[in-house]
Amino acid sequence: MSTAFSLAPLFRSSVGFDRFNDLFETALRNEPGSTYPPYNVEKHGDDQYRIVVAAAGFQEEDLELQVEKGVLTISGGKRDANEGVTFLHQGIAQRAFKLSFRLADHIEIKAADLSNGLLSIDLLRVIPEEAKAKRIPINGAQKPALQH
């Protein structure tokens, strides 16, 4: 019996989070059957992310991307069977799927592309000026006189 503890499930369904408490909350709500289709969550810099989903056999019209209340949902519909085709072996899964990713605040979807059976979704953290940290200068050399 292994006593190793893996944090990998925490990072699979959240993008842009730097705090562990948000990841633990998401892991508790994670669906157990969300391993199809396989996908990667990649970080390409401080504020750039990419989700890559293996969508073999799906075309653009079979896929749908939707963002609602900070959750990105990727779904693929089951394709219609080809008329007059009898499969002797069908190893390419084309079943319907639905993946959900909770996005951190200020994460925006910049682009989505389907190429060579991989659906790539580019995300960018855009922090508004009013939310950025501001440096406050300390004027130690000159102290204004207090007026009474």
Q: How many helices (H) and strands (E) does the chain have?
A: 2, 8
What is the token pair recorded at 12? 């699979």
Give residue 94's pLDDT.
74
Which has the higher per-residue pLDDT, 32 or 92? 92
- 67: how many CB neighbours lie within 10 A of its CB? 13
- Locate all alpha helices (DSSP H) within the chain, ordered by sequence: 8-12, 20-28
Confidence check: pLDDT of 63 > 80: yes
In 10 A of CB 87, how many CB atoms?
9
pLDDT, greater one: 21 or 62:
62
pLDDT tens readout for residues 2-18: 555 555 555 556 666 65
Residues in the chain: 148
pLDDT band at 24 (very low <50, low <70, confident <90, very high): very low
pTM over 0.85: no
Neighbours of 51 (CB within 10 A): 21
